[in-house]
A and B are shown apart, each in its own frame.
Chain A
């Protein structure tokens, strides 16, 4: 393999480029990024960066003296892939020729339908999103966050600290239930009320009001909440449209095996755009976590260079979230019927460490302000294949 194109210049793309060089690839390396910026770190966008505590320079992912000997094409989108010809088509009319392609185009925030031209309505995915939102987070303003997932919860937490009046609306009866389960999702969501954020669960949003600028949120039960600012934290859509017609299997993301291999040997996928086969789920499973983008890139690169998955071990998914001064950490994949035990604290305490067990084996762990115990128990997780 003499040339590789990495499509995507965020954490997954940069990590893949680094892994290529570290694994001895000395050919031509091209990195294509849709944003005009150099690679930057997104997790602080809902926290320290949104609060104004750190600046843009602090988000840089590259080292000062880092040189990957790559050709960077930033501010251009890939629009097509002709794997047979080894060509990636770009929206500036040019194309990149490469023997191998790493798809790392990530995901984009799902926007609230019909709100594109309504001022004061935001999503949060990019630096530009964060800068625009920060402008609107004025003390005393009324913020409504749609969606009590991690992005929504972190924005609410930052906004409370900035002195806003904050309401979070969640359509599910329990926030975070799909990731943490009902009981622990509810426990973590209690942080909102404890810190002055109103949380409304089990009610959908039927629409936004306002002519040019948003004035409020209409709920499915007929209530109307006045709002100066609205943030939609309602999930992300994988950026895979450029691969339509390429022959790659696309579902919710690029369908891959457990090592990032796609249905075309010269193409691998990693990061938020990729759905790797997950033995614990028994199906392709898209993981949208920072750590996956960082760690799995090396596996995908080894798969690409060897032509197939080499069996490298893939760690259990891990994510963290900082809300209201609390550090939440989770590793593994939980299922609703897992048995939960507490190794520290309990449901009624601010800080606890919970282990999820299946057939008496630890399969996931959740910690709130328990980093030391979490670190230890995370290493004891035993991935259980879905069939067992």
Chain B
């Protein structure tokens, strides 16, 4: 489990990028729910934590594909693959993320740091 930050440090409507490998975006929605997904859009290298959140969806800041924060599903191209989701546990007022062990759907040309080091 990865400790992110106190819930109080992430106001509603805000998002935070966590520099894990690959990076994760944690969202606190206007309705008070907290979600975690991989931060990188599955289409091209853009940070979803910089995107526009409406309800339970985040719109990629670069090309406007929308991802469902609950399921990771994408609404329309240019992104074609869902983004990986992670389980969020808020305990004692602290946001924690349980990392998903499934492989991430990173965009072409983007790899994890671990994969990059392994290829050297």
Contacts and interface: CB of A to CB of B under 8 A. Distances in A.
Contact of A58 (B51, B61, B62, B108): B108
B77 A371 contact: no
Contact of A320 (B59, B62, B109): B62
A53 B109 CA distance: 6
A41 interface: yes
Contact of A371 (B61, B64, B78, B109): B61
B108 A371 contact: no
Interface in A45-75: 48, 53-55, 58, 61, 63-64
Given A53-B109, A58-B109, A375 B61 contact: yes
A375 B78 contact: no
Interface string B65-87: 00000000000011010000000
Given A58-B109, A294-B64, A371-B46, 18 more contacts: A41-B78, A44-B44, A53-B109, A54-B108, A55-B108, A58-B108, A61-B77, A63-B77, A63-B80, A290-B63, A291-B63, A294-B78, A295-B64, A329-B62, A371-B61, A375-B51, A375-B61, A379-B52
Q: Chain B interface secondary structure, helix, strand, loop or mixed? A: loop
Interface string A374-386: 1110010000000
Nearest to A22: B76
Interface residues of A, number: 23
22 contacts: A41-B78, A44-B44, A48-B108, A53-B108, A58-B109, A61-B78, A64-B80, A291-B63, A291-B64, A294-B64, A327-B62, A329-B62, A371-B46, A371-B61, A372-B49, A372-B61, A375-B50, A375-B51, A375-B52, A375-B61, A376-B52, A379-B52
Interface string A335-379: 000000000000000000000000000000000000110111001
B105 interface: no
- Of all A-B residue pairs in the complex, the 8 with the closest CB atoms, nearest first, are A58-B108, A371-B50, A372-B50, A54-B108, A53-B109, A371-B61, A375-B61, A54-B109
Classify chain B's interface size.
Answer: 10 to 19
B119 to A, nearest CB: 13
Contacts of B50: 371-372, 375
A294 B78 CA distance: 9
Contacts of A295: 64
Contact of B47 (A61, A291, A371, A376): A371
Contacts of B61: 329, 371-372, 374-375
Contacts of B47: 371
B77 A48 contact: no
B12 to A, nearest CB: 15
Interface string A278-295: 000000000000110011
B55 to A, nearest CB: 15
A388 to B, nearest CB: 28
